Chains A and B, each alone.
Chain A
Amino acid sequence: MQRPAASIFFAFPALFAAWGCSSSSSDAPSSGSPMPAVCEAPGYYVEADSTPIKQVTAKLLLPSGEAAAALPVQVCGIDTCLKYNANQSGVLNVTVQDSLVRPALKYGDGFDFAELAIPLGEGTQNLGELVALPLPPYAEGAKFPKSGPVTSGDVTLKLASNATVEHDSLTYSDPSELVFRSVEVPIAESEKALPPSFGFELAYGLAPLGSTFCPAAELSLENTLAWAPGTEVEVFVQGLDVAENWAPYGTWQPVAEARVSSDGKTIDTTSGGIPILSSIALRRNQ
C-alpha cells in the first residue's frame, strides 16, 4: 500500500515535467525546422537502507506455459546488480547472500523479451510462476520517425514535430535493434510486477528500453477492453533504470492522463505522455 501512495505523491511533479517540456507552437520559429524541445528529468532518487537478501526463486514460463529456458534475469538494487539466467526448465534459484539498496528482480531484458521488475523484500523470496513475454521480432518492429506516429501492435506513440529522441545505444549497439516493439502484458498472470493494489487493467512491455522522448510522446492504444467512450484513464510507466531519472526504480509512476475516444476505438493521452520507453500500465480513473 505504501508504493501506490508514494507514486501518487510523485504524480504531480512527473506530470508537471511532462507538460513543462512540451513546447507550444508559439515557441517554434516561423519557418524551417522547429526548435528541439528541452526536457529535464524529474529524478526520483531517495536515500534508503540496504535490504539483506538470501535467496530468490521463481519459475519462468512462456505465455504458452512452456519453460522460459535461459531467460535473462537480474537481481538488481540501485547500488549493485547480479545477473543470472533461468535454467533450461525455466527455474531460477539463486543464492544472493548480499544486501542491496531497494532490490528488484528484473526478468526479460528488452531484447527478446519485455522487461518487468518486481521489488524484493528481505530474506528468501519465492516469487512463484512468472510469465516472460516475448517481444515481436526486430523485423516486425517499427522505425522511429523524426516526428509523427510509430506503431507496434496495439500501441502507437506520436512524436512531436520538435521531438528529440535519444536511444540507449550503449545497450542496443546494433542500430537494427532500435525499432519500436510492444507486447501486451497479461495482468492476471503478472501480479508480482503489477500489484493488484494499483488497479491496472491493461499493460504493455515496450522496447527499445530506455529511449527517451522530449517532449514526452503522446500515446494511443487500441481500446481492446471496450471501455466506454469518454472514459478517463491514468497511464503509468515502470521504473526499470536504477538512475531513476524518469520513474522511481522498481515501481510505477503516473506520467499521463488519457481518455477513450468518442468512437470508442482508441485510448489517447490528453495530458502528459511517455517520457521513456519501459513497461506501461493503465487504469481507469476511480
Chain B
Amino acid sequence: MTARLARPLASFWWSCVLLAPCLLLAACGSNTPKIPPELLATGGCNSPNYPSGPFGTEEGDTLADACFQGFRDPSKVSHTDSSLETIAFADYYDPNGSKGYRSILINTAAVWCSACRSEHEGLSDKNREYGPRGLRILSTLFQDAHGDPATMRDLTAWVDTFDSNYAMVLDPDYQLGNFARAETAPLNLIVDARTMKIEKKLLGDQATVIWPFIDASLAQP
C-alpha cells in the first residue's frame, strides 16, 4: 500500500510546493489533505499536452487521462516495488506519430476472472505481433481472487504467470469503473493514440472482434 501510494503522493506534494503555494496552504495544510477534484477526475495525472475534454466513456468519446502504478514492460524489469513506475494513458498519446503509436488496447483484469486469465495467456504473443505495427497494450489489474482490491503481490504473480511483456498496472481503486461495473470483466477499449478517442468498447474477451478491428486500425494511414 505504501509503495503504491508513494509516487502519486510525491508528485502531488511537488506540485503543491513548486506550482501552487496558495493551493498548498488551502489543500495541504490540514491533517487530511484534499486532492483537487480536477486531479481526481484524471486519476491524479497532470499532463498538460493531453487532449482537453469533454471526456466520455463511449465509442467516439475522448478518454480521460488516468495514472497507475505498474510495470511498463514486465519482461525487462524485476517484479519488485523498486521497478514500479507511474504509467498514464497520456504516455501513449501520440498526436503526430512521433512515438510510433497508432492504437492502444486498454484492458481490465481481475484474478477471480478466468476469462481475463484466458485472455492474458495469449496477450504477450499479440504484443509481439502487433507492437512493431504501432499497438500498445496496457492492462489494469483491479481485484484479487476474492474481489478485494488488487495488491502488489497480485500484480507480481500475474506478470509471472503470464510472462507479460506489455504494460501491466494496478488499479485498486478501479478508475475504469465508469466504463464497466467492477463485477464484470474483462473490459477492452481500443483507443486511437493520435486523438485518444475511444474507437471500440467491448465487454469480454472478444478476440474475433478485437484483433480484426486492431488490424484494420493499424492499416489506416
Contact = CB atoms under 8 A, between A and B. Distances in A.
Interface in B191-217: 203-206
Contact of B146 (A84, A111, A170): A111
Interface stretch (A13-21, A73-81, A150-158, A264-272): A73-81
Contact-residue size bin, chain A (C-beta under 8 Å from the other chain): 20 to 34
Contact of A243 (B118, B158, B185, B206): B118
A80 B157 contact: no
A100 interface: yes
Contact-residue size bin, chain B (C-beta under 8 Å from the other chain): 20 to 34
B185 A81 contact: yes
Interface stretch (B18-26, B34-42, B56-64, B106-114): B106-114
Contacts of A76: 113-115
A98 B203 contact: yes
A259 B185 CA distance: 43
A271 B202 CA distance: 44
Given A79-B206, A82-B183, A243 B114 contact: yes
Contacts of B116: 81
B48 to A, nearest CB: 37
A212 to B, nearest CB: 13
A100 B158 CA distance: 24
A173 interface: yes
B111 A170 contact: yes
A255 to B, nearest CB: 20
Given A79-B206, A170-B154, 14 more contacts: A76-B113, A76-B115, A79-B115, A79-B205, A80-B205, A81-B116, A82-B183, A98-B203, A100-B204, A111-B145, A169-B157, A171-B112, A173-B154, A242-B117
